[in-house]
Each structure stands twice: as C-alpha cells, then as structure tokens.
Amino acid sequence: MILPRVVVLASGSGTNLQALIDTLHGREVDIVGVGSDKPGCRALGRAEEARIATATFPIADYADRAARDAAMAAWAQEVGAQVVVLAGYMALLTPAFLDPFRERVVNVHPSLLPAFTGLHAIEQALAYGVKVFGVTVHLVDDGVDTGPVLLQGAIELPDATDPEEVHRAIQPIEHRLLPEAVRLLVAGGFEPDPENPRRMRRAVSSG
C-alpha cells in the first residue's frame, strides 16, 4: 500500500515529531524526511533513530530566508512530500516554501488561536492572566499563525505561573491533536467551512 508522503520540519527536541512517528509513520503516512534549521537538534536524532532521512538548512548557508526556503522546498519536493508538518519549527516560512505546498502545511501552536500568536505564546498568555490554556493545529498561510484552524484542545490551569509548567500540561494535547489533524488531512477529512474562512470543518464523508 502506498501511503501519503509527509515531510516534517522541526527546530528543537522533537516531541511532536516523535508523536507522529509513534502514531502514524508506516501506518497511515510515510514520513519521508525531517528537515531542520538547527543542525544537531534532538528532532534530527529522533528521525535518524527511526531511519528517516534528514536534511539541515541553517540560515547562515544562504543569502536570505527566501533562498533558504526555496532550497528547503526543492528538497521537500524531491523526496515527494504531499503534506508538510511543522512540529516545533521556529522560523517563519516565506512564500518561497509555502507556494508549492499551499493548504498542505500544518502547524501546531501552543495557544487557542487567534489569541497569543507568534513566539512566546505561553508567556503571553500568563502575562495576560488567562486561566485556560490550549493548543491549535492549523494550516499555514502567509501570516503569523493566521491560517485556518483544524483542531483545538484546552485545559484549565487557574493557578499556573510558570511557562514550563504550562508547556508540560499542554504537551499531551499537542501529541494527540497533531497526529489526528494530519491523519484527517491526508484522508480528505477536512473541508472549508462556508460560514467562516478562518476554520476548516470535518468533511461529511469523514464521519
């Protein structure tokens, strides 16, 4: 059976990548490559342990971000990626990468979007004083965390004060929602919501 081909981009420890490997790889998708802007990051080690090809794209090797993203897109196309998953990839993607993969790039963000976009989302939420924290899986567009929402999950943490504490609490939500969103996306399980262009809804045929 030929599985949908997925490329994952990551910059850090790769726990969301590991969730994808553990739940989907070789079963419902074929993760054909893991790319990173951070040579030596733990995510690359996780990929190598799973015998998944890796590639690195440090910004210092390119004239600018667009040049780096074009090279990364060429690599993703070369390995046959049909869907790209950002699993803790900490650099904004330019149209040089996004254009070949429109509506096929998935990101996981540690807030209930549209609240607290960009970097340091948990710190932003704590500073605002929220008592409910969450995770959003969304499609990536040219904005900062502005693409259509696929799935969200939340947890009440009324006394939280420490970003690391919040991160540990929401990680299981990330590890559940990201694979579920990828599973649905590759199976055609989402369709645009005609009432709101900012979100996708479950396709009727997906049950």
Helix axes 163-186, 121-128, angle to 10 degrees: 120
Top-level class of domain 1-102 = alpha beta
pLDDT value of position 175: 98
Q: Name the one residue in this structure whose structure tokens are 């590991």.
A: 18
The residue from 109, 138, 167, 175 that is catalytic is 109
Average pLDDT over every residue of 91-120: 96
pLDDT above 70 coverage of the chain, percent: 99
pLDDT above 60 (res 48): yes
Q: pTM of the full predicted structure?
A: 0.95
Give the separation between CA 103 and CA 144, rounded to whole angstroms: 15
Q: Tell me which amino acid residue 157 is.
A: L
Between 3.40.50.170, 3.10.129.10, 2.40.110.10, 3.40.50.300, what CATH number should domain 107-207 receive?
A: 3.40.50.170
Is 87's pLDDT higher than 70? yes
pLDDT value of residue 204: 74
Q: What size, in residues, is the chain?
A: 207
Arithmetic mean of pLDDT over the chain: 96
pLDDT tens digits for range 9-23: 999 999 999 999 999
Provide CATH 3.40.50.170 ranges for the chain.
1-102, 107-207
Say whether 167 is catalytic: no
pLDDT tens digit string along 129-185? 999 999 999 999 999 999 999 999 999 999 999 999 999 999 999 999 999 999 999
What is the per-residue DSSP string for the chain? Answer: -PPPEEEEE-SS--HHHHHHHHHTBTTTBEEEEEEESSTT-HHHHHHHHTT--EEE--GGGSSSHHHHHHHHHHHHHHTT-SEEEESS--SPPPHHHHGGGTT-EEEEESS-TTSS-SS-HHHHHHHHT-SEEEEEEEE--SSSS-SPEEEEEEEE-TT---HHHHHHHHHHHHHHHHHHHHHHHHTT-EEE-TT-TTBEEE-GGG-
Backbone angles phi, psi at 173, to 5 degrees: -70, -45
Q: What is the pLDDT of residue 207?
A: 45
CA distance 76 to 74: 6
Please write the tens of the pLDDT for every residue from 122-141.
999 999 999 999 999 999 99
